[in-house]
Chain A
Amino acid sequence: MNAQVHGAHLEVKGLTKRFGGLIAVKDVGFSVNGGEILGLIGPNGSGKSTVMKLIMGIERPDAGSVRIKGVEVAGWPSHRIARLGAGMVFQHSRPLHRQTVLENITLALLPDKLRRLFPDPENEARARAIAERVGLGHVLDRRPSTLPFADLRKMEIAKAIARDPQVVLVDEPFAGLTSRETAAFSQLVTDLRDDGRAVLLVDHNVKSVAALVDRVFAMYVGERIAEGTADEVMRNETVRRVYLGGSIETAARPESSFRDTTPFLEVKNLNVFYGKAQAVENVSIHVHQGEFVSVVGLNGAGKTTLFNAISGVLPYSGEIRREGKPLGGLTPAAIARGGIVQCPEGRELFGDMTVRENLDLGGQHVTREESEKRMQWLFDLFPILEQRQAQTAGTLSGGEQQMLTIARALMMNPALLILDEPTLGLAPVILEQLSKALERLRQTTPITVLLGEQNVTFALPHADRVYVLEHARIVWEGDPSRFAAEAGTGYL
């Protein structure tokens, strides 16, 4: 290969990926030089993780080119791409639990050969050196399951370094880390750059990686929306609109207008742990009868965990009360029958059943006439579902599926409707339809809604009150009209 080929370490052009009818990535192109960090930014469902998987060969691109140090690798299996010089720091991984930290790092140094039945003593020394470098020297002989979360992340970076990759992809580098741990981890990422590697940082928002990256490439629903320095991208009009919404018209009712002295739902000092990682820390929120409350937070902030605790599917400490009575001892089914109905992030429709059958299932607990009546009302709210009645749910578009999920929950005549990220992966035009339906729901019924969103544009207009959830904690509470001024910068 001649020398002039080596422009950028990583060069992506016209990258496209479809999943069924959904175009997850559309004509994306960028390049990263050695000694440079590029931030790949986009809200949930924007396709950024798919781009990373396409580069690493975990998914096959439908079109486009991926060049690593000048070699075309699009369509290669991931082990070949890895051997050519790409490495990935996984956000979640399953380390070898019966082996020590040292052995886990040594694993990454092994050649892909079946004849290697005898260990190379040099590998252990190299693994030791790498562990020292990332700050794991004191836990070499421990099992991964005994390590704090931040050390597990360091182990992942150690494994990636072990392959000496020229291109390093880092998935959500700071998710689940405290600010002190974030600083230490940032240093490790900076070290990767200073070694002359090309680093691609994948994250949700610009702010969290702004101090680290040389350039930012921002995506939304599979496409490029902006590119430049962190400052430029944060000032970009499209980016601001995607993350913060343009001028948001809010129709908040003041909290004093809700007359109930005991809130309908009250969560007090809630704590939830997943193993060692604390997903919800000392969270207290309340929702009045008839109120529309939005919980805004980035991916991984703890929204879903909070909702799952309310629905009773997770063990927690702290108190959750409905109209003053604790929900603690109730089963998830009892809580749902009592009228607290959650629309999960994953939608969880019955894909092989028709739209009508899905709705009928939701109406199991009410009388036939009541069920008919509700269905007519829902078809009025979501006209598209009436047209699609006989179609199976699996063949609906993402937006239609989301509407069906909400409609099915409404069939159960909920007292409190919990919506978890309804906008996940939806195109803007669908968002608007969904937004209108929610507005009508709010105007025409006395329903109480708790909405979890990272899409601020969607979360604010309907809300009476907003909570901001960040790193497992509530950091802001207030009127939606004050959000952009007081809490908005964190969402760029």
Chain B
Amino acid sequence: MSPAFSLVGRIFSSRTLWISLIVVVLASTLPLYVSGYILGLLTIAYYFGVFSMAWDLLFGFANEVNFGPTFLIGLGAYTAGILDNLYQPPILLCLIAGALAAVTGGVVLALPALRVRGPYFGLTTLVAVLMLQNFVVVAAGLTGGEIGLTVPDVISIDDKVNYWIALGFMTVSGLILYGIARSPVGLILQASGQDAVQAGALGFNVTKHKLAAFIISAFFSGLAGALLVFYLGAASVGTFIDVTVGVQVIIAAVIGGRRTILGAVLGSIFLIGANEALRPLGDLSTFIVSAMALVVVLLFPSGLLGLLTRTKEAV
């Protein structure tokens, strides 16, 4: 049996993944019977799902709390948006540029940040978000500043096409991230996160592995950010960079289930759906959603996915 086959075999032997794939197949049929409004919500939720999965790779496996997911997302989104705004190259080029910008920014941030210990990594990433936010506001000529940036192109104006693109992108991203998390590299990453001294004494270059995780996380965050820009047709600080957006990404990953990768998608759909359902309540909705998130975190630390799998095992 070839090693490649055995990993693929192992991944596909996971019941969670099989159920997820069935859910994806079912989800792909949704445009046939639900409204465009719901499709639009889910489209955004799927991109958020990728943000959260990418974040979970860092937090759940490398054990690094990145308070700045929106630094990576924002770099991807704004790079793609500005490029399209200025030169209108093919959208694919904008997407690649966005992903590369996020990776570059991620490396520049991670190299010094991974050298500091404990809470300082998180603080460094938080500061990066604030710096990017400031830059966007200051360089208003380029970025649209506080008003926002409108991009001339969108991928498609058809709700269904946009929905399928988001679903497809999320599925592929999820498979890759889940595969990495379950691979030998994912195991080393977990060991590095859990006990860096021992991982080093076992011969693993902890910094190298954590940096790699950061790069992967940045790539998917940036690419998802860029795709979301071409879905929304606009970029603004409030939707892509603001710290509260980052907090939503984090909450989605945590209530979905830490260290599960796939749970993050569940968390995102829950969060976006709840926010929307409670919108008539105005400011109160944020409070209720936050309270629900708190309950999940306190009562079910393994998250929604943990809750579902546990119930199933009990039956």
A residues adjacent to B (C-beta < 8 A): 56-58, 77-79, 82-83, 87-88, 90, 93-96, 98-99, 103, 106-108, 110, 112, 114, 116-121, 159, 163
Contact = CB atoms under 8 A, between A and B. Distances in A.
Nearest to B211: A114
A58 B201 contact: yes
Interface stretch (B32-40, B73-81, B151-159, B191-199): B191-199
Contacts of A163: 202-203
A-B pairs with the 10 shortest C-beta distances?
A82-B203, A78-B200, A118-B3, A94-B195, A118-B7, A117-B183, A83-B203, A88-B201, A79-B205, A94-B194
Contacts of B202: 79, 82, 87, 107-108, 159, 163
Interface in B2-16: 3-4, 6-7, 10
Contacts of A110: 184, 187-188, 204
A119 B183 contact: yes
A32 B212 CA distance: 38
Contacts of A108: 202
Contact of B4 (A103, A118, A159): A118
23 contacts: A57-B200, A77-B200, A82-B200, A83-B203, A87-B201, A87-B202, A94-B198, A95-B194, A98-B190, A98-B259, A106-B187, A107-B202, A110-B188, A112-B203, A112-B205, A114-B209, A114-B212, A117-B183, A118-B7, A119-B3, A119-B7, A121-B1, A159-B202
A83 B203 CA distance: 5
B127 interface: no
Nearest to B216: A114
Given A79-B205, A118-B6, A119-B7, A107 B188 contact: yes
Given A58-B197, A110-B188, A116-B183, A121 B3 contact: yes
Nearest to B190: A96
A108 B184 CA distance: 10
B254 to A, nearest CB: 17
A129 to B, nearest CB: 18
Given A90-B198, A93-B198, A79 B204 contact: yes
B263 to A, nearest CB: 14
Interface of B: 1, 3-4, 6-7, 10, 179-180, 183-185, 187-188, 190-191, 194-195, 197-206, 208-209, 212, 259
Contacts, number: 92
A34 B185 CA distance: 33
A78 B47 CA distance: 40
Contacts of B184: 110, 116-120
Nearest to B206: A79
Given A119-B183, A121-B1, 17 more contacts: A56-B201, A79-B200, A79-B203, A79-B204, A82-B201, A88-B201, A90-B198, A93-B198, A94-B194, A96-B191, A98-B190, A98-B259, A107-B202, A108-B202, A110-B188, A112-B208, A117-B180
Contacts of A77: 200, 205
Given A98-B259, A117-B7, A121-B6, A90 B201 contact: yes
B208 A114 contact: yes
A122 B16 CA distance: 27
A96 B188 CA distance: 10
Contacts of A88: 198, 201
Contacts of A99: 187, 190
B217 to A, nearest CB: 14
Contact of B204 (A56, A93, A103, A112): A112
Contacts of B201: 56, 58, 78-79, 82, 87-88, 90
Contact of A96 (B4, B180, B194): B194
Chain A at the B interface: SS class: loop
Contacts of B187: 96, 99, 103, 106-107, 110
B129 to A, nearest CB: 27
A116 B205 contact: no
Nearest to A108: B202
Nearest to B2: A118
B214 to A, nearest CB: 12
Nearest to A58: B197
Nearest to B213: A114
A130 to B, nearest CB: 14
Contacts of B206: 79
A98 B191 CA distance: 11
B195 A118 contact: no
B170 to A, nearest CB: 21
B212 A120 contact: no
A260 to B, nearest CB: 48
Q: Which of A87, A117, A120 has the most chain B CB within a 10 Å cutoff?
A: A117
Contacts of B205: 77, 79, 112
A76 B188 CA distance: 20
B191 A107 contact: yes
Nearest to B197: A58
Contact of A116 (B185, B191, B198, B259): B185
Contacts of A120: 3, 184
Contact of A78 (B1, B3, B197): B197
Of the candidates B179, B185, B195, B202, the one having the most CB atoms from chain A within 10 angstroms of its own CB is: B202
Nearest to B195: A94
Contacts of B212: 114
Contacts of A159: 202
A110 B209 CA distance: 13
A51 to B, nearest CB: 15
A87 B10 CA distance: 30
A306 B10 CA distance: 48
A189 B212 CA distance: 37
Contacts of A94: 194-195, 198
Contacts of B204: 79, 110, 112
A374 B4 CA distance: 74
A106 B200 CA distance: 16
Contacts of A117: 7, 179-180, 183-185
A98 B185 CA distance: 16
